[in-house]
């Protein structure tokens, strides 16, 4: 697997440019940035500066139901206030649905996708009926492969047409995908100490993950590996909450013939109660800190000291 990528033609321009390490910050415009975002953005920016590399900004707005123009505008404003600059153009996921459709079609052609019409409540009920049912790293019950087992819902049409029909999600047949990927998977993880380690990947712990839904043409997992490949990202530096998802991302990279980045998962900033900072919680946005009189220099000092 992985000798030839479906993105070879699109990646030609990237491969022809001089080899430079490339970092990215990829926020979602579904809320205002907080100090945790500043920490991640600054770490990527600083690492790019230290090695003479590239720093890219990507807007992960594939969830159109939650994305808002005002939040995207605030991202640019907050990052500029912090003194960050990025290489244009900014990649917006909503402008690249075709790239994700091609990736899904490639997985479909390998026989790795199947359609699922189960509701989340169905899955929760099935798991509740079986004490000790396994859960994925995010705590959700693993899908019991109901649609795969019953054979009543299958991909009799191309993946794109199935999604357009509505009411159906596309899942990855994990057992078949892992078998096709072949030899054991791993990724290169660079710690804060600069030491690189090899980490064994365990994508099966995610079960038959959803890769697309009618209202979301690609999941985060498929979109992020496609985006990183097409943008030539060499170093993925992101929060520790995504550490275990890396195993799934490495599986998708191998199946699609995409390059393997070097990973680094940094510690998350937490509030006084020990919870991670989040948009959905009570974490104070950067713009609120600015309104209270905190300077960019003070925010930079807090973020870089974290």
Query: Is pLDDT at 152 greater than 60 in this prediction?
Result: no
Residue 215 included in any domain: yes
Mode of pairing for the β-strands spanning 91-92 and 54-59: parallel
Query: Is pLDDT at 107 greater than 80 in this prediction?
Result: yes
Task: State the total domains in the chain.
Answer: 1
Residue 2 included in any domain: no
Q: Write the CATH number for 154.
A: 3.40.50.620
Residue 156 included in any domain: yes
CA gap 91, 32 in Å, rounded: 19
CA gap 180, 158 in Å, rounded: 20
Q: What is the pLDDT of residues 220-240, one digit of tens each?
A: 999 999 999 999 999 999 999
Q: For residue 58, give the 3-state DSSP assignment.
A: strand
For residue 205, the enclosing domain spans 8-305
Residue 34 included in any domain: yes
Residue 3 included in any domain: no
Q: What is the pLDDT of residues 247-273, one digit of tens each?
A: 999 999 999 999 999 999 999 886 655
CB 267 within 8 A of CB 222: no
Residue 257 included in any domain: yes
Residue 129 included in any domain: yes
Confidence of residue 2 (pLDDT cuts 50, 70, 90): very low
């Amino acid at each position: 697997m992985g000798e030839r990528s479906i993105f070879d033609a699109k990646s030609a321009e990237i491969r022809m440019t001089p080899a430079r390490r490339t970092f990215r910050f990829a926020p979602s415009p579904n809320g205002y940035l907080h100090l945790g975002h500043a920490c991640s953005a600054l770490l990527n920016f600083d690492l790019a500066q230290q090695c003479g590399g590239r720093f890219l900004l990507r807007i992960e707005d594939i969830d159109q139901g939650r994305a808002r123009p005002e939040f995207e505008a605030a991202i640019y404003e907050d990052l500029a206030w912090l003194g960050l600059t990025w290489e244009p153009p900014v990649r917006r996921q909503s402008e690249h649905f075709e790239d994700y459709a091609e990736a899904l079609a490639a997985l479909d052609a390998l026989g790795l996708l199947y359609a699922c019409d189960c509701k989340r409540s169905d899955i929760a009920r099935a798991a509740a009926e079986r004490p000790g049912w396994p859960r994925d790293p995010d705590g959700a019950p693993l899908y019991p492969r109901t649609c795969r087992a019953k054979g009543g819902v299958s991909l009799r049409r191309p993946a794109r047409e199935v999604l357009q029909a509505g009411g159906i999600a596309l899942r990855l047949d994990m057992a078949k995908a892992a078998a096709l990927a072949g030899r054991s998977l791993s990724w290169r993880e660079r710690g804060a100490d600069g030491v690189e380690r090899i980490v064994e990947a365990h994508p099966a712990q995610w079960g038959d993950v959803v890769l697309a839904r009618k209202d979301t043409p690609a999941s985060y997992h498929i979109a992020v590996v496609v985006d990183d490949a097409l943008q030539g990202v060499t170093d993925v530096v992101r929060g520790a909450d995504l550490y275990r998802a890396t195993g799934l991302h490495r599986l998708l990279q191998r199946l699609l013939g995409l390059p393997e980045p070097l990973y680094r998962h940094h510690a998350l900033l937490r509030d006084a109660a020990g919870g991670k900072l989040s948009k959905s919680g009570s974490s104070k946005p950067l713009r609120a800190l600015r309104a209270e009189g905190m300077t960019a220099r003070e925010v930079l000092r807090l973020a870089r000291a974290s």
